[in-house]
């Protein structure tokens, strides 16, 4: 099953546009709990409430070989126990083609991810080793959630902003196999609306609704497709670190329930 089909099925089955980011910062973990044990508990507590899980490799690589093992174990655990939930590896890769060929093998053949986040700066030809994994999702960074992203992303190009030009390139020229998506921060609903107009029904990954204080209603009104779907709305820290006590998984489940309920309430009003 290709990524977009798997994502659509998860949207429907779990009635959820919510993605949980598995970013186990070692400074915030409950005492005596390693990254994999932590992730396993979070996954078990939330798998019926989400449309995707999104590990960020940085938090694992910070522990060296041990952490990379935890990441691989996390991806394997999801594949074995919750195969209907897609894994997005939020590695934001971007380099020349030969290096990207190695990155693509690591993401899809070793970590078994269903999708990956990518930088567009090197152009389409550099991303070809990723794009040729036709059943996988390629989530291209378009407009980031951080306040300084506009330093480059808002620069004028022809008669539009650079982030709009990137969206046009992905939609019009890069999506040869129908496996491209875009990534737009929830903190910029006006820009998200502009990108949705360019992207049509292409799914968009939206980080920034939790600790980064994205406006949920404005984001949904800007980004939903006509069928009330089209978004992968990520929350990481606000969910997984809802508690640093032994009840951390139960607290994460409650936060996930609350977030899904809030999203679905606004989905109904935004349709």
- For residue 271, the model assigns a pLDDT of 47
The pLDDT value given to residue 212:
46
Query: Catalytic residues, which ones?
Result: 92
pLDDT at 127: 95
* Strands across the sheet containing 180-184: 52-55, 18-22, 231-235, 204-206, 180-184, 137-143, 115-118, 88-93
pLDDT by residue for the chain (271 residues), tens only, comes to 999 999 999 999 999 999 999 999 999 999 999 999 999 999 999 999 999 999 999 999 999 999 999 999 999 999 999 999 999 999 999 898 899 999 999 999 999 999 999 999 999 999 999 999 999 999 999 999 888 888 989 899 999 999 999 999 999 999 999 999 999 999 899 999 999 999 999 999 999 876 444 588 899 999 999 999 999 999 999 999 999 999 999 999 999 999 999 999 988 755 4
- For residues 20 and 236, the answer to whether their CB atoms sit within 8 Å is yes
The DSSP annotation for the chain comes to: --HHHHHHHHHHHTT--EEEEE---TTTSPTT--HHHHHHHHHHHHTTS-SEEEE-THHHHTTTHHHHHHHHHHHHHHHHH-TTS-BEEEEEE---HHHHHHHHIIIIIIS--SEEEE--TT-HHHHHHHHT-TTSEEEEEEE-SSTTTHHHHT-EETTEEHHHHHHHHIIIII-TTS-EEEEE-TT-HHHHHHHHHHHTT--EEE--SSTT---HHHHHHHH--TTS--EEEEE-HHHHTS-SSTTHHHHHHHHHHHHHHHHHHHHHHH-
Fold classified for 3-270:
TIM Barrel (3.20.20)
70's tokens:
């935890």
For the entire predicted model, the pTM comes to 0.96
Q: What is the pLDDT of residue 130?
A: 97
Annotated domain spans of the chain: 3-270
pLDDT of residue 15: 97
Alpha carbon distance 242, 137 (integer Å): 29
Check residue 269 and give its pLDDT.
59
Angle (nearest 5°) at CA 83 between 77 and 85:
100
- pLDDT for position 268: 76
Interatomic CA distance for residues 71 and 78, integer angstroms = 11
With contact defined as beta carbons under 8 Å apart, do 120 and 94 qualify? yes
Instruction: Please state, in angstroms and rounded to a whole number, the distance separating the CA atoms of residues 56 and 62.
Output: 11
Taking the C-alpha atoms of residue 137 and residue 180, their distance in angstroms, rounded to an integer, is 6
């Amino acid at each position: 099953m290709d990524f977009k089909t798997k994502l659509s099925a998860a949207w429907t089955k779990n009635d959820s546009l919510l993605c949980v980011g598995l970013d186990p910062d070692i400074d915030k973990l409950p005492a005596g709990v390693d990254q994999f044990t932590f992730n396993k508990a979070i996954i078990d507590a939330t798998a019926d409430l989400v449309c995707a899980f999104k590990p960020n490799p940085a938090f694992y690589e910070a522990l060296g070989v041990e952490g990379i093992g935890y990441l691989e174990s996390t991806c394997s655990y999801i594949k074995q126990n919750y195969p209907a939930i897609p894994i997005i590896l939020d590695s934001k890769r971007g380099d020349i083609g030969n290096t990207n060929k190695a990155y693509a093998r690591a993401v899809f053949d070793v970590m078994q991810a269903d999708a990956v986040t990518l930088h567009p700066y090197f152009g389409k030809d550099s991303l070809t080793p990723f794009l040729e994994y036709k059943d996988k999702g390629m989530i291209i960074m378009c407009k980031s959630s951080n306040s300084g992203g506009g330093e480059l992303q808002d620069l004028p190009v022809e008669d539009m902003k650079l982030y709009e030009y990137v969206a046009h390139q992905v939609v019009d020229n890069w999506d040869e196999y129908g496996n491209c998506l875009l990534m737009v921060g929830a903190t910029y609903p006006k820009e998200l609306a502009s990108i949705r107009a360019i992207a049509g029904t292409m799914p968009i990954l939206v980080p920034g609704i939790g600790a980064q204080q994205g406006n949920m209603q404005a984001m949904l009104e800007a980004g939903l497709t006509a069928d009330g779907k089209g978004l992968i709305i990520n929350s990481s820290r606000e969910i997984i670190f809802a508690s640093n006590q032994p009840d951390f998984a139960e607290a994460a489940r409650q936060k996930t329930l609350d977030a899904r309920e809030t999203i679905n309430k606004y989905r109904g009003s935004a349709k």
